[in-house]
Every structure is written in structure tokens, then in C-alpha cells.
Amino acid sequence: MIASQQKTYLTPEAYLQIEENSDLKNEYINGEICVMAGVTNTHVTIAGNIFALLLSHLRGSGCRVYISDMKVRIESKNCFYYPDIIVTCEEKDRENSTYKKYPCLIIEVLSNSTEAFDRGDKFIDYQSLETLQEYVLINSKKARIECFRRTEGQSWNLQFYTDQNKKFELTSINFVGTIDDVYEEVNFLE
């Protein structure tokens, strides 16, 4: 006879209370907590570079950029995620200091352990955010940025940027940057 394991459902409120006192970052997916994986020097460098570029660009615009420690809440999917970068221009997002619900731009730096999830189920969940205009995946193994843009018909178009392009664009925040700036101080041989 096989014993069945019952999972305990955790409410969003209970999750937020646990997160408030946790030394670890945990994502929340439909009642379950998922511990976040560690990151590499390359991952942190790329996220820091893009954060610095966007922080400078958005200064005085009314939009806010957040790096890895800010959660995104997706109520319709009953989940909370920690993207690498979030940009929100919604005044309503200033009401809550622990998570944001109305991002216009989300950026994930890909890693071996998260790439499939970032490209798959997480992207599907993010698509339910009505304010989200762009979802960007930054490769940590080679100079490549993939930008998914929401169209007026609510589908998503993909634009690739590589070191051959030299520049990339984030239309949601009227930003043009260079691939070299995103990958500054990155050693792909790590």
C-alpha cells in the first residue's frame, strides 16, 4: 500500500507573513512555496547593469525600477514571483511596499535552473498582467536579449537582439541601450 502525501495549502496572506520574516526568497505558486535558486556572478552583473541603465533613464519620469528583491503579484494566477527587474509606472503600485501588481516591463536573466520555467509557465502567468507590455529574457551564456512585446491584438511578438545589433530597444519605457552596456564586466567563460 502506498501512503499518499497531502500538500498543505498556504494562503497568499500566510505566504506574505512567512516572507516578511524569511532569510530566503520564496516564490508562491497556487498555495505552495518554492525556494529560489542561488545565482552566479554573471547573473548578478547582468541584472545590476540593466538596473543601473534603467534607473538612470527613468529618473524623474514617474516610473520606478526594482531589482530582484521586489515581488510581482498575479492575483488571477494566485502567485507571487521575484523577477530580476520590474518597471512599473502605475501610481497604484506605490500603495504596497512588498509587491507590485501593475508592471509594464519585466526582465529575467536566464540561468540553467530557471530558463525553462522563465520561458514557459512563468511567461504564461505574466501574460495575464494587463499592464505588462514587454517581457525580456537576457541570456547569461552569450550576448543575446529576447524581447516579447504585447501587440494591440493581445498577442506577443518576439524581437532578438545580439552583439551584432549593438543596440536594443524597450518600447514600453522609450529606452534604447547597447548590448555592450548590458554585458559590461561579464565573463561568459565562468
Cα atoms found within 13 Å of the Cα of residue 92, Cβ hemisphere only: 6
The whole-number pLDDT of residue 184 equals: 96
Q: Does domain 39-182 have CATH number 3.90.1570.10?
A: yes
Contact call for residues 39 and 111 (beta carbons, < 8 A):
yes
pLDDT for the residue 190 = 59
Q: What angle do CA 27, 28, 32 make, to 5 degrees?
A: 125
pLDDT above 60 (res 2): no
Domain ranges of the chain: 39-182
Phi, psi of 29, rounded to the nearest 5 degrees:
-130, 105
Q: SS in 3 state form for the chain?
A: CCCCCCCCCCCHHHHHHHHHCCCCCEEEECCEEEECCCCCHHHHHHHHHHHHHHHHHHCCCCCEEEECCCEEEEHHHCEEECCCEEEECCHHHHHCCCEECCEEEEEEECCCCCHHHHHCHHHHHHHCCCCCCEEEEECCCCCEEEEEEECCCCCEEEEEEECCCCEEEEHHHCEEEEHHHHCCCCCCCC
Q: How far apart are CA 178 and CA 171, in angstroms?
A: 14
- Cα distance between the two ends of the chain: 48
d(CA 109, CA 137): 6
Question: Under a CB-based contact definition with an 8 Å cutoff, are residues 10 and 32 in contact?
Answer: yes
Q: What is the pTM of this model?
A: 0.92
In tens, the pLDDT along 118-168 reads 999 999 999 999 999 999 999 999 999 999 999 988 899 999 999 888 899
Q: Mind listing the pLDDT tens digit for each residue in 85-110?
A: 999 999 999 999 999 999 999 999 99
pLDDT digits (tens, 9 = 90+) for 6-59: 567 889 999 999 999 888 889 999 999 998 877 889 999 999 999 999 999 999
Q: Span 177-187, mean pLDDT?
A: 95
Give the lowest-confidence range in 30-39, 59-68, 173-182. Answer: 30-39
Q: How far apart are CA 131 and CA 104, in angstroms?
A: 5
CB 173 within 8 A of CB 144: no
